[in-house]
Chains A and B, each alone.
Chain A
Amino acid sequence: MTGSSAQAAGVVQRGLVLSAIGLLALGGVYVLALGYTPVEVRQGLAQKIFYLHVPAAWSALLSFSLVGIASALYLWLKDPRLDRFAAASAEVGVVFSAIMLTTGPIWAKPIWGTWWTWDARLTLTLFVFFLFIGYLGLRAAVHDPAERARFSAVVGILGMLLVPFIHLSVYLFRTLHPQPIVLKPSAPSLPPEMLTTLLVSTLVFTLLYLGFVTARYGLALADEAREEARDAA
């Protein structure tokens, strides 16, 4: 193993340890959600999906926002670390989006009576999910590193521009999706047990995001080290 590969392996290991801690902490979130928070009278146990769905949505939108910011900075500074970070954040964002897009319909079925409805927030969220799958496909298809970074930066910025629309869509359009109860102009409207569990879960999902992105960044570093070694040979 070369020096660069050893460095990359160290980064991957740090990310894996961090995300393993996050996975263990997620078990704690399950205990809090199932044992500490009260059962909501109108929605029953299905309401507790909230403690996974909302933090997954937070992490997905955080990932995609950071892809856009890193992409814009890449176009300006041409620093390959920014491109590597954007690629890592996009992949992790797709994983969190998959959780958001599966837990959402599972929660919707008993409460709305339907798995899916083509309203603004759901449709925009699905659109962003597909857009970032396209982003990852684009990266896999373009082999020249500078071209790949430039093309994907443009797509990453376009994806980020949709994030505020997803957040504001419940205000801008008629929708079945509930309005924000935490990230809103007035104080959060939740009982303290629910708010505490939601905040703990959000912290755990953010820790998972950091761990996954670190590991994925290390893998990209390892790929580049291998390509450089191959070119030098």
Chain B
Amino acid sequence: MELTLWTYEGPPHVGAMRIAASMEGVHYVLHAPQGDTYADLLFTMIERRDRRPPVTYTTFQARDLGGDTAELVKRSIADAVQRFQPEALLVGESCTAELIQDQPGALAAGMGFGDLPIVNLELPAYSKKENWGAAETFYQLVRSLLKAQLPPPGTPKPDPARWRAEGRRPRVNLLGPTLLGFRCRDDVREITQLLGGYGIDVAVVAPLGARPADLQRIPSADANVNLYPEVAGTLCSWLERQFGMACTSTVPIGIGATVAFLRQLHGLLDLELPADLQAGADGVCPAERRSRLPWYSRSVDSTYLTGKRVFIFGDATHAIAAARIARRELGFQVVGLGSYSRELAREVRAAAQELGLEALISDDYLAVEAAIAEAAPELVLGTQMERHSAKRLGIPCAVISVPLHVQDVPARYAPQMGWEGANVIFDSWVHPLMMGLEEHLIGMFRHDFEFVDGHRSHLGDGPPAAAPAGPSGDSAPATPALGLHWSPEGEAELAKIPFFVRGKVRKNTEAFARERGLAVIDSEALYEAKAHFSR
């Protein structure tokens, strides 16, 4: 048993719904009680979908439990098949139905639907979560649709360069984009365009927008692009094992990763590396000029970004990408990196280790919030959960990963991947900081009559409620440090320090004072501590 207040991921059947709802011609019959229909609103409200997800719920009630719930399942399946005429049927159960063991998948298989592909989803609700459910569903669906095409054991791997012999352009599949993923719609467009520019066609995009028949064309591509490892990882490795299909391992988020991705794909497809993907004498690869991020980051205005302390938390794919961009492409200092994706914890740990950090692998948002408070970052890159935590802590934040809020599904074109994705990232990460700087300026000029006391722009109407304002307006410890107190002059000096580092300075100074056995912290002690910590 585990205490959860808010959760990063839904149950695994919601992952299955994401696959079904992303596709055309697929229907999902879910054996579940009535409350479980809430999941529809994730799609219709957060994604603003204009149609209901293709899901039929059996909505069994307590009174059905005494009778024959299996009959109810069969009736629901028969109705759904007749009403929606799906090209492929997913059958599964939610947490409660798992307990009553009606085996809806087996029931469906025995109903005589002829050629209709039926996928029996067994998604253990008490041990797995949403992303795992999405990955498993995607894999099971493709596997069952490709059954007839499985090459006999011993068949040599197809040559990824066979496009040359066949006299056509090379083609790849983009695997993993779904509804309720982070900017998937725009990433697909960006990557399709990016690959087109290098003479690479896209064969199948899936699951987003695909029909079952499209999934059957997957093996016709020369390689797979694993766009979102959380969703497509399981499938990509199966396709590699069973069909010998090569697969990319780099997710093209950020300049470096986009270049690495393109180079890797050229290698996989035996394409000659074009000049613009080769590093010049100055170490600059001409292709990166297609994005404004490198120049914006080099421009003098960005000097103030140097060494900004940033805390990163999200799904593994976006968190790892963000850490690389933050450190190498924006010159930030990454002070925390973590993910709730336990399935990809190893990758996150490796990325953190490279930064000299220990990764935070947790799905407890309070632990994440505590880690943020402890790291005292100037910017948080996280999910909607961290946006709220950061708001409470008074720290600027940009959202980089699911879970989403409706505002993370923007009307405009706002990919994360490729060159335009890098532009979007520059803007969306730097703007909260600019506003942070504005807060600083407001702090500096707060004695000018134009600024009324307590004026804050984007951080809300007043100081964060959860952090009781200390005498100098920062978040003072709830109980004064034992045997320590700040002299009025020390407090006054502390008040001159920009608000976003003041909490950290207070904490450090108190630690220093305790270490030195000081009882009173005056301005001298503050400067001593400053010198001590800046060694």
Q: Do A and B bind each other?
A: no
Residues of A within 8 A of B (CB): none
